[in-house]
Chain A
Amino acid sequence: MGILFIILAFFAYTLEKEHLITTEIQTMNSYLTQLEEELKNHHLHYSKEIVIDTKGYQLGLYDIDRHPILTQLHASFLWNTSLSHEGDKVYASHTLSTYFLGVATIIVSKKIDTTPIVIRLATLLIPLFLLMAIVGWILSRIAFKPALTAFETIDTFIKHATHDLNTPIAAILSNARILEEKISEVSLHRFVQRISIGAKTLTGLYEDLVYLNFQCDSPTPRTEEISPLIHEQLGLLDTLIAYKELSVTTALSQTKLTIVADDFRRLLNNLITNAIKYNTPKGSIFITLEKNFLSIKDSGIGLSDREKEKIYERYWRGESFETGLGIGMEIIVRVCKSYTLTLEINSTKNHGSEFTIRWPQSLIVPF
């Protein structure tokens, strides 16, 4: 809309300026005719003193050879045209049929002042632009209101739900653990296991939502060994892994980084959870930890090129029946940004994905 207004203002200015030039040239021509009469009178009366009123114009009197008799003009005049304007100067010339006082050509020039045009256009267009901007803003608010309301509702719901989730989840988990120990019938263990998986998934979601919505000041980074953190997360997710009958292979070298352990726990949890969730039953997971990188490779459903672009969007979930809110990748990206980690995704649809995290040399603690 801004560009449209600039174009409109430019055209309006050009038209107004052209009109001003035309009007000015007409006035100049009247003056030139009047001046010819004046020269004629002086010539016929052999005037001893000839005073010519320039009326604010710059004036030049030239003989037949275009030599100046008396002139105030310094700019080069286009002799081939009778009327002209150059920049903000307007010229008009008049050729005399009889050379009174030896004058063959009279040229007048005036610098045109476009300030009134600019002021007039500004007083007209700026309020119009503001009015249209306000109307546009109001209309866009009305048009996007349903979408904005939906997003606000989701965010508000998540924020409210997060507060109240912790206690019941803890109760479910502890009671499921007690039930598993107390129930002697093996066939019932599977049902208890499902309750436990559901509760652990809810715990992960709860922690992720707290991290995204109520991020407090981060504690000071400390030297942490990464492989115990990986084992810790695998232990937490063992129920899920066992349920899907996945095989997990690890090749972990001793790596120490200066980090906040909880941030890396969250990062690892989301990466491993994704490798489990988007894996096929009886599939495999390979976790490799080297001094400079961590790689988590699965034999799951993989990602198409379009999905690779969409995974960073909040609330996006893959073509899966698995649970989740679609905020896992956002957490991964957020942790990566805060530690300047690089994330590489190699994925082939229906063949699996490999997520590789590389960290800068500055994070590595030498042994």
Chain B
Amino acid sequence: MKYIEGEELVTEVKIALRELNISPLPELTERLSFAWQEEDEPAREMLFQILENHRIAGFTGLPLCQDTGMVTAHVEIGNDIKIIGPPLPFLIDRAVRETYHENFFRGSIISDPLFGQHTGDNTPGMYTYEFTEGDIFRITLLVKGGGCDNLSALAMLEPGSGFDKVEEFVLSVVKEKGARACPPLILGIGLGGSGATVLSLASRALNRELGRVHPDSQYAALERRLCAKINRSGIGPQGVGGKTTCLEVRIENGPCHIATFPVAMVASCHLFRRSELSW
């Protein structure tokens, strides 16, 4: 049995949440710098401003984006793990509340879409749990603004459809609303599962670290193919036209019913604010 101190967990999550809101991932800066070299105006100037933002956010103490997002955490927890202290969601919520308060990050959460008020402290976060074997304990944090979450979509395709039908669906959503979601985007695509769980597959794909391709080479090839097609749409950085609409497409696949072919997509904006903690 491995014991995790709740207090220590809160401290680690707080450090990670501050960092991901203020410091861009180095690989992300690298990828966007490359895109900047490739683009013409005005997309080039948009990327210039995005890169300047990467450069200065750290020492201004200001967040990369005023929308410090909704905090999502995917927790992988082995059967040999015991957390000492309050239940896990309480601990992560405490870390969110304290981080957002201490760093003057914006609280963007309302308690209910119809009748709710601002909660003020950006809680609750949205957490998912995956039970696994041994003493694995890993938390993947992903902070997303509202703009790119509005690109989320679900389709139930005809069973037996090919990947071209998946592409048709994804491209139609990206062409209709992609410019509003702060491209260049990173897309998570779920294939299979059920109508409800396919969105979890898509989220799991989006949770992967930058540059991590599908382990199956057939799927890795489809990821590249769809990314290239999205980039040919010409939407470009911030939607102002250009070559870089999508930095990565990731796919996660799973079993499904013979009568269904669920497909879901979720997206992150160009600020891929992710952090992975393990104990």
Q: Do A and B actually bind?
A: no
Instruction: Give residues in B with beta carbon < 8 Å to A.
Output: none
